[in-house]
Structure 1
Amino acid sequence: MLNRLKSWAIAWALVLSTAQFCSAAGFAIYEWGARDMALGGATVGRADDPGALASNPAGITQLDGIQVMAGIMGIHPVLDVEANGKTETSDEDALYLPPHFYATWKVNDRYSLGLATFSRFGLGTVFDDDWEGRYNSYEATMQSVSVNPNVAVAVTDKLSAAFGVEAMYLNFNQKKKLDLSRAQIQAYDGDADLEADGMGYGFNMALHYKPCQYAKVGLAYRSPITMKVTGDADFSIPSIVGPMPGTLFNDTSASGVVTLPDSFSFGVAVYPLEKLSVEFGAVYTLWSKYDELKINFGDPVLPSATPDESTSPKNWNDVWRFNVGVEYAALDWLDLRLGYVYDNTPVPDETIDYLLPDSDRQIFSTGLGFHKDNWAVDVNYSYLLFADRDIDGRAADFVYDGEVNDADCHIAGVSFTYKF
């Protein structure tokens, strides 16, 4: 059964590739649906469509019958990174297409079931392989997919609670150049390609409360997930350099353990008019659990005191994400939406690198909702703007004095919902 689940998750992960530069700070992801994006993710209090399975599963007790939502997001990121006095632009042709799928079933007046398939973590940074920061990283991708069944219970007419379990598949790949002159071999570049994957498991809990007909309150928690990944480290050395010493740069197995953070989400939705709703929300992510990235090699690969291990300190900070979303029912079949997000980066100055040259960001969103009979179609457009950020060099990590600037991202998506 576990092998079947992993095979299914791997197949989904091939299409759930997501760019870090169009998601939340760090490498969290919030592209969970077109309506959710149009409202800036301010749906924890509303929680009134199948996409609530990602933001606040307790809200699915509001949904009648069987409802299904499926869709896709189109993501196009671009950024400039200055390193060692030279500016490099990321892949300008990058386009990521992560899908999402949710299904809910109201079993009876008290119990509801839901199943979600979506992505919570991912990154994508791609530069030319001869750029100044190539010894730190020139290509990095993280892909993940979560399968998340939930049970929601209407405790009272006003209060609902939910509990779910999560199985997450994660694939990580990083490519960087080897400075052979630094290893006192020759003044040429080698190549290192690390790829590993694995499964991790966690849980989530949520509450949804309707104190009156004019307001809804939501609170959701997702647990940390410890990912144990295994894979291979492949090394390429130019033929002009000749054979390496027997203990250096041999292809070998690789493994590592990383803890993905837990988070709390909170939202208050108010309905000042019959056709108007406004929600204010916040997410607190405990990124401090991501304290290091350690890779263990099956065989020694580097001329160092601990040649079978590579450790990169991270020491990230716990951070807040704030959002607001406004929805107006302009017509019986048309909803208008606006959203705004301010997101703090968890990456400190002391450990920022080219694997994740992150900064604070803002997201401005808009969207439309079309609905008739049992069908609903939601579309969104979001513009993500990154704050410029200086980078202080760290020679030991091949990180040079520079700056992240002119970074932005365009996100457009569509979701289809059908009520049986």
Structure 2
Amino acid sequence: MKLRLLCLSPLALLVCLPVSASGLFLQEAVYANQGTAGAGDGVYTGSAASIWVNPAVMSIMNGNQTTVNGVILDLGVDYYDQDNPYDRNGKSQDYIGSAAMFHVQQLTDDLHLGLAVATAGGSGLDYSANWAGDLQLENINLLTLQFNPSLSYKLNDQWSVAVGAQINFASMDARMVKSDLASETDWALGYNAGVVYQASEQLTLGLSYRSKIEHDFNGNIDSDIGAKLPTDGTLITLDRYQMDTSLVAIADFSARYKINAQWAVMSTIQWHQWSDWDSSPILFDGTVNGNRKTVDLTQTRDWDDVWHYGIGAEYAINPNWTLKAGVSYETSPQEDASKQTPDIPVGSQLRYSVGASTMIGQTKLDMFYEFADLGKVDISQDGLGLGLANDYLLNGYFEGRMHFVGFALTF
């Protein structure tokens, strides 16, 4: 077990990413209404973190707000081998911390400025050596940090609109095919937009969109001899790599209905365009049997779009304390066991969340616990190229789960 924290931000925020919901997305790090599994975040006015989902919500907040989020999670992913379960199983266990900051500044009665500094997504697994898939992957870390400035304008008492810029930083390193891939960084740009409609005093609706972001990594392989794979006799030595990865487009529809002074219910429907992630280009430069060439190990993903459904409720015990609960479900982007991979084993997911909020003077404290059941993911590889023998293909299943404990301060 490890505790991993990476300081990426000039604001000294600690940001670290695990394998996460819906491919590479980690939404727990940017929860606004903590304890509802993210339900209704796009129209929640009690936290500045809601601008991450929908920046148009700024227009219905009261004045300026600043929110600091923090979360610690226990991530476990186990691999069980069907062919030789006694000495080929794998286990990745990590404790990971993340933090983010959000600020809303009212410029005029109708115009608001927002700034979010948070994670966009990533991957972090460490199976260690001597498991069934150690020639494909021993560990990987994809860490991201996003600066997301935005502007919101209130058109009238019912409609508000907003646009923002995604400025994304990413760092990646991995150990695979018996070689260390040197840490590389990359910057990429995208945009986001949103609209909020206040249908009545009780009902608020929001629709938002975040564009796709693509990162390209080019670096050295940290090894004196590169990678010598035990294949069908081919001798391969690698010294450079190229990799691409994407955070695909995501659309969110959020709703919140205030039943009375004590009860409110909220819901979210999201669409994640993972069908746009058909493959992960992976190129290695080196020598094959003494001849210089590029080895193409591009990983076919062929994922489907993901649908996310969330529902939550909150109950105000008194003016100082509110209890919250929520549940969410995500469809699987990949049901074909032959196309699963050890870097991001994915299936359908369920999340259960509870939380509470209270006032400490003029500051609101939110706290939550969430359990994510990542389910059972079958894998049955039928070939990886390079003449890799069947002994090095994976035939088994992954089981994953995450425990989250988080807090937020809003002032």
Shorter-normalised TM range: 0.7 to 0.9
Identity of aligned residues (%): 20
Distance in 2 (CA, whole Å) between partners of 1:151 and 1:376 is 24
Matched with 2:305 is 318
| Amino acid in the other structure paired with 1:328 | Y
User: Alpha-carbon deviation of 1:259?
Assistant: 3.5
TM-score (norm 2): 0.87
The 1:301/1:279 distance shift into structure 2, 3 A limit, reads farther
The 1:352/1:301 distance shift into structure 2, 3 A limit, reads farther
Larger CA deviation: 303-312 vs 166-175? 303-312
User: Alpha-carbon deviation of 1:36?
Assistant: 3.3
Distance in 1 (CA, whole Å) between partners of 2:255 and 2:313 is 12
| The one of 290, 302, 327 aligned to 2:277 | 290
For 1:337-359, what per-residue CA distance to the aligned partner results, in whole angstroms no more than 9, with x for missing partners? Answer: 00101012213423211111222
Within-5 A mapping of 1:143-292: 143-178=143-178, 191-235=179-223, 237=225, 248-252=236-240, 254-292=241-279
Within-5 A mapping of 1:8-407: 15-20=14-19, 23-33=20-30, 35-48=32-45, 49-83=47-81, 84-86=83-85, 88-92=89-93, 94-178=94-178, 191-235=179-223, 237=225, 248-252=236-240, 254-297=241-284, 299-302=285-288, 307-349=294-336, 350-396=338-384, 398-405=392-399, 407=400
Q: Which runs of 4+ in 1 moved over 4 A?
A: 8-14, 236-241, 301-306
Q: Indicate conservation of the 8 Å contact 2:254/2:266, yes or no.
A: yes
| The one of 393, 406, 410 aligned to 1:413 | 406
User: Alpha-carbon deviation of 1:372?
Assistant: 4.5
- 3-state secondary structure, aligned to 2:96: coil
| Amino acid in the other structure paired with 2:403 | H
Q: What stretches of structure 1 of length at least 5 have no aligned partner? A: 1-7, 179-190, 242-246
For 1:17-76, what per-residue CA distance to the aligned partner results, in whole angstroms no more than 9, with x for missing partners? Answer: 1111xx312111102346534111113453312011111111111223321111210010
Distance in 2 (CA, whole Å) between partners of 1:383 and 1:340 is 10
For 1:353-376, what per-residue CA distance to the aligned partner results, in whole angstroms no more than 9, with x for missing partners? Answer: 111122211110000101244210
Distance in 2 (CA, whole Å) between partners of 1:389 and 1:166 is 32
The 1:257/1:127 distance shift into structure 2, 3 A limit, reads closer
- 3-state secondary structure, aligned to 1:259: strand
Q: What stretches of structure 2 of length at least 5 have no aligned partner? A: 1-6, 230-234, 386-391
- 3-state secondary structure, aligned to 1:300: strand
| Amino acid in the other structure paired with 2:211 | S
How many aligned residue pairs are there? 388
For 1:378-416, what per-residue CA distance to the aligned partner results, in whole angstroms no more than 9, with x for missing partners? Answer: 1110011122232223242643210123x2211001111
| Amino acid in the other structure paired with 2:18 | A
Distance in 1 (CA, whole Å) between partners of 2:303 and 2:112 is 37
Q: Indicate conservation of the 8 Å contact 2:350/2:372, yes or no.
A: yes
- 3-state secondary structure, aligned to 1:152: strand
Q: Indicate conservation of the 8 Å contact 1:43/1:52, yes or no.
A: no
Q: Indicate conservation of the 8 Å contact 1:278/1:326, yes or no.
A: yes
Distance in 2 (CA, whole Å) between partners of 1:313 and 1:108 is 50
The 1:345/1:379 distance shift into structure 2, 3 A limit, reads same
Q: Indicate conservation of the 8 Å contact 1:78/1:89, yes or no.
A: no
For 1:261-299, what per-residue CA distance to the aligned partner results, in whole angstroms no more than 9, with x for missing partners? Answer: 1011011211122221111111101011212111344x4
Larger CA deviation: 150-159 vs 348-357? 348-357
User: Alpha-carbon deviation of 1:216?
Assistant: 0.5
Matched with 2:4 is none
- 3-state secondary structure, aligned to 2:57: helix
Distance in 2 (CA, whole Å) between partners of 1:238 and 1:109 is 61
User: Alpha-carbon deviation of 1:195?
Assistant: 3.3
For 1:82-126, what per-residue CA distance to the aligned partner results, in whole angstroms no more than 9, with x for missing partners? Answer: 13432635333x111110100111112100110001111111111
Distance in 2 (CA, whole Å) between partners of 1:270 and 1:173 is 44
Distance in 2 (CA, whole Å) between partners of 1:374 and 1:37 is 18
- 3-state secondary structure, aligned to 1:96: strand
Distance in 1 (CA, whole Å) between partners of 2:244 and 2:92 is 29
